[in-house]
Amino acid sequence: MAVTLETPLSRVLGPKTATGMAEQLDLYTVRDLLRHYPRRYASRGEQADLADVQVGDRVTVLAQVRSVSTRPMRNRRGSLTEVVVGDGRGQMKLVFFNHRHGALKVNAWGMFAGTVGEYRGEKQFAHPDMHLLDGDSGDDDWARALIPIYPASKDVSSWVIQKSVKLLLGPQADLTGLVEDPLPEDVRARHGILPLAAALLDIHRPTTADDVDRAVHRLKWDEALILQLTLAARRRAAALEPGLARPRRRGGLLDAVDAALPFDLTDGQRAVGEELAAELDRAQPMHRLLQGEVGSGKTVVALRAMAQVVDAGGQAALLAPTEVLAAQHARGIRQLLGPLGRAGEIDGDPSGTRVTLLTGSLRTAAKREARAEVAEGRAGIVIGTHALLQEGVEFADLGLVVVDEQHRFGVEQRDALRAKGSRPPHVLVMTATPIPRTVAMTVYGDLEISTLRQLPSGRGGVSSSVVPVRERRAWLDRAWERLREEVAAGRQAYVVCPRIGEEEGADDEPEDVDGAPEDEPTSDRRPPLAVLDIAEMLRSGPLAGLRLDVLHGRLTPEEKDARMRAFADRELDVLVATTVVEVGVDVPNATVMVVMDADRFGVSQLHQLRGRVARGAHAGLCLLVTEAPSGSPTGQRLAAVAATSDGFELARLDLETRREGDILGAAQSGRRSGVRLLSLLADEELIAAARVEATALLETERGLADHPGLAAEVARLATDERADYLEKA
């Protein structure tokens, strides 16, 4: 039987194995299995895995039997067998009840898999799955220097995967799909890339570490090239879309905005503004990413672009990641526009427009009214959250979509909003998280990029410190004193905690937390500090007498808005909050940011939080309170955040502490983004080279017509992405 990459596994493997692979590992076809790469390679005697495994981990280890002892159980019938296995550095106990494995003899080598448990302080496996190496005669796999260890599941062990792969790649196998390498030969030659068949053979059945390296290099190329082809195709398609030019008109909303601004634009804001104005004046829709340091003044740049579109007769939508932020934008823009933003109202200016806020929490009648304003074109400026993406929201003439704080939105959401225009609108995406070059080439590869480097002058700057409470209890007392001093001087403060508190429930998650490092054990730590508890503690203790309130995701949108407004109007001194204040919140009089349990937040998040203070002329203070020892990796991560305010450097640090999948996943959607091996951090050169090749391939007259293999891979990625999106929606 000829087997291709598309052949279902159920046709080449036993039914039990095939079912297990499908249900537990998400592997359905020969392609899926061959792209299920080993996590690592074990070699006898050298591995230190046993020393490193953690309780609760599901692991597969290669080890040698050191001792076997069987005794009757004390309180029950039957016997207990204890087997000690070692791997050179560490050792571990296996426990079996009523065990009858005659082959488990001292010195035997085997692979043992299961969840690591603990008994009386010792790590152990209770009745693990195992596969003894000796006695499996005729099996050359164990003679190999490198034994692949696969991501496995309860019913599909690493060695079953190994055997199944061997079946497909072995000498008798007839894998016609593997002979046709989708990579063009000249590309392969230019970059010294192995053929696909050789690479797959080497990654699954290597003889030396070099084999693995070369195979990985080749397979990374596949991932990078497919990704870049997808993005290049997206750029080309976008360039061909017929949009509508929205030229600048004098004497309209834009001029009114400029006249009303209480400050001069920075040079950067001016330059980017001109870039945007020119692009909006073209029929080909703009696709631009505006990145600018926290507090660099992106909002006003966006507002000016929106005003230009309104002046040209279109509508502009501003999509914000949270209701708090959407409400703040609406408030700020309405204030700035004055009567020009209230056309149709008694005191409104009929030559102006309406600013409409559309969020999920509006009552039905208000929502209906808002939708009508949008649909009939009375609302020139529409501000909202995800609710804008919903069905039933129609625009009369959507000319510009602005997405604020992009990292919360994926490509699909951007597309969903764009689809609301009768013609493709212009798109401006804004992010405060500076984007390293590789990420710009991948996650944001379909956008042009503008950068605001400069902060408006006259900013006080923020000084940051870590407060390691275990080592320096007194520093925390001092922190509350500093906060009181600032309040006494007329300033305001935020205290941020990772959790809301009181009843524990599914909705007790901090809003929108992302970027928290994954590599740290969480199970044995105390629960994160909670807003409600800390607020109580502060009220009755160090901050007694100050006007203090809480803000978190369990409040109704009206309550949230009212408290945010009270804080902005200086009716409150201290806001104890979850990360609802993380993005975008703008209260220039606030100067102190105290982050409790700072170690529970990601690097970018901390940088964002810090960006909430010193937005006016006064200097700011950011205190990162943590129980982590200052010498620990976590302590050092916090120290790095405190030491630099350079967003680019922090973005890189963030990338290092997060997993690839999370970075891509956030915007590129999930497990099937096609990226398994590629590292955004380490593979910058490869990604850049793939980008050049991808662009060149698509620029030829025939495009991918001569490369059906590549075209099929690109199509497959697109299908998987869509499938993922639908699944999530």
Task: Please report, as ranges, the residues that interact with Mg ion according to CB under 5 A.
Answer: 584
| Element holding 337 (H helix, E strand) | helix 323-337
610 binds ligand ADP (CB under 6 A): no
Return the range that interacts with ligand ADP (CB under 6 A); candidates 192-200, 209-217, 259-267, 708-716: 259-267
300 binds ligand ADP (CB under 6 A): yes
For residues 537-556, which are near ligand ADP according to CB under 6 A? none
Shortest reach from residue 453's CB to Mg ion, in Å:
16
Q: Which does 456 bind (CB under 5 to 8 A by kind): Mg ion, ligand ADP, none?
A: ligand ADP
C-alpha distance across the termini of the chain, in Å = 40
Distance CA 356, CA 395 (A): 12
In angstroms, give the least distance from the CB of 290 to Mg ion: 10
Among residues 407, 464, 485, 711, the alpha carbon closest in space to that of 606 is found at 464
Tokens at 692, concatenated? 């050049």
Q: What are phi and psi of 59, to 5 degrees?
A: -135, 160
Closest to 273 in 3D by CA, of 262, 258, 285: 258
Given a contact cutoff of 8 angstroms between Cβ atoms, the answer to whether 29 and 7 are in contact is yes
Residue nearest to Mg ion (CB): 584
Range in contact with ligand ADP (rule: CB under 6 A) among 57-65, 294-302, 523-531, 708-716: 294-302
Q: How far apart are CA 162 and CA 34, in angstroms?
A: 10
- Helix 603-610 / helix 633-643 crossing angle, nearest 10 deg: 40
Q: Does 62 engage in binding with ligand ADP (CB under 6 A)?
A: no
Among 296, 406, 492, 669, binds ligand ADP (CB under 6 A): 296
Instruction: Tell whether residue 297 is a contact of ligand ADP (CB under 6 A).
Output: yes
Give the orientation angle of helix 158-169 with respect to helix 15-25, to 10 degrees: 110
Binding ligand ADP (rule: CB under 6 A), the pick from 434, 436, 445, 456 is: 456
DSSP 564-603: HHHHHTTS-SEEEE-GGGSSS---TTEEEEEETTGGGS-H
The reply on whether position 341 binds ligand ADP by CB under 6 A is: no
Q: Is the CB of 435 or the CB of 479 nearer to ligand ADP?
A: 435
**Residue from 168, 142, 164 nearest 16 by CA:** 164
Residue with tokens 């494995």: 101
Q: How far is the CB of 272 from ligand ADP (least distance, A)?
A: 11
- Stretches 187-195, 371-379, 547-555, 582-590: which one binds ligand ADP (CB under 6 A)? 582-590
Residue 414 within binding range of ligand ADP, rule CB under 6 A = no
In the complex, least distance from residue 167 CB atom to Mg ion, rounded to whole angstroms = 55
- Tell me whether strands 548-551 and 574-577 are parallel, antiparallel or unpaired: parallel
The stretch among 196-204, 547-555, 584-592, 621-629 that binds ligand ADP (CB under 6 A) is 584-592
Stretches 262-270, 349-357, 408-416, 641-649: which one binds ligand ADP (CB under 6 A)? Answer: 262-270
Q: Which amino acid is at 606?
A: L
By the rule CB under 6 A, 263 interacts with ligand ADP: yes
Distances (CA, A) of 484 to 491, 492, 493, 570, 626: 9, 9, 9, 15, 20
User: What's the gap between Cα 338 and its chain centre?
Assistant: 38
Q: Tokens at residue 373, please? A: 């304003």
Work out what residue 9 binds among ligand ADP, Mg ion, none; the CB cut-off runs from 5 to 8 Å by kind: none
- The residue count for binding ligand ADP (CB under 6 A) is 19
Q: How far is the CB of 437 from ligand ADP (least distance, A)?
A: 21
Q: Toward Mg ion, which CB reaches closer, 424 or 584?
A: 584
Nearer to Mg ion, 165 or 325 (CB): 325
Identify the three-state secondary structure at position 646: coil
Contact partner, 563, from ligand ADP, Mg ion, none, Cβ < 5-8 Å per class: none
Q: Does 273 participate in binding ligand ADP (rule CB under 6 A)?
A: no
* 588 forms part of the interface with ligand ADP (CB under 6 A): yes
Min dist. Cβ of residue 430 to Mg ion (A): 7
Asked if residue 292 binds ligand ADP (CB under 6 A), the reply is: yes
- 12-33 burial: b if 16+ Cβ within 10 Å, else e: bbeeebbebbbeebebebbbbb
- 298 is a site residue for ligand ADP (CB under 6 A): yes
CA distance 562 to 397: 32
Site residues (vs ligand ADP, CB under 6 A):
263-266, 269, 292, 294-300, 432, 456, 584, 586, 588, 615
